[in-house]
């Protein structure tokens, strides 16, 4: 027995989310690129309808066409991502970078913790001397 495939209505917010994640872009990075907050991007991704102007801005920020977002599917995304990474050297994908060395940050935090512990030991030693 053959069943007719039901066509789900297009959920543009979901397409935006899927395209963004397929490109490896975080909500906060996209929000920064668009001059919005991360919460705005989250809200857009939850909406079934996204206005054309917003969709155009998101497409430009991600380096894809609005049609690619509207007609998003997993197989086409691979082609889009591949061409986007090669064609858009200045896109959001290449502008996100870590601005600090995580190892240096760990060492800095460790040094602060060690200093705090040494101060505690000195204080306890002084208290012991005063008691004697």
**pLDDT by residue (tens digit) across 30-60?**
998 899 899 999 899 888 888 889 889 998 8
Which pLDDT value is given to residue 9?
Answer: 63
Tell whether the model's pLDDT for residue 125 goes beyond 90. Answer: yes
Tell whether the model's pLDDT for residue 80 goes beyond 80. Answer: no
- Residues 32, 36, 40: CA angle, nearest 5 degrees: 120
User: Is 128 or 104 the better-scoring residue by pLDDT?
Assistant: 128
Q: What is the mean pLDDT of residues 23-28?
A: 86
Which pLDDT value is given to residue 78?
Answer: 58
Please check whether residue 93 is in contact with residue 84, taking contact to mean a CB–CB distance below 8 angstroms: yes
The pTM (predicted TM-score) of the whole model is 0.52
Tell whether the model's pLDDT for residue 119 goes beyond 70. Answer: yes
């Amino acid at each position: 027995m053959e069943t007719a495939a039901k066509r789900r209505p297009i959920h543009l917010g979901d397409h935006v989310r899927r395209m963004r994640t397929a490109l490896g872009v975080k909500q906060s990075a996209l929000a920064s690129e668009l001059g919005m907050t991360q919460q705005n991007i989250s809200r857009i991704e939850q909406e079934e309808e996204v206005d054309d102007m917003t969709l155009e801005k998101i497409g430009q920020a991600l380096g894809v066409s609005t049609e690619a977002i509207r007609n998003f599917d997993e197989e086409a995304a691979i082609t889009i991502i591949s061409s986007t990474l090669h064609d858009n050297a200045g896109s959001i994908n290449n502008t996100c970078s870590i601005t600090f060395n995580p190892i240096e940050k760990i060492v800095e935090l460790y040094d602060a913790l060690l200093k705090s512990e040494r101060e505690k030991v000195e204080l306890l030693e002084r208290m012991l001397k005063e008691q004697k």
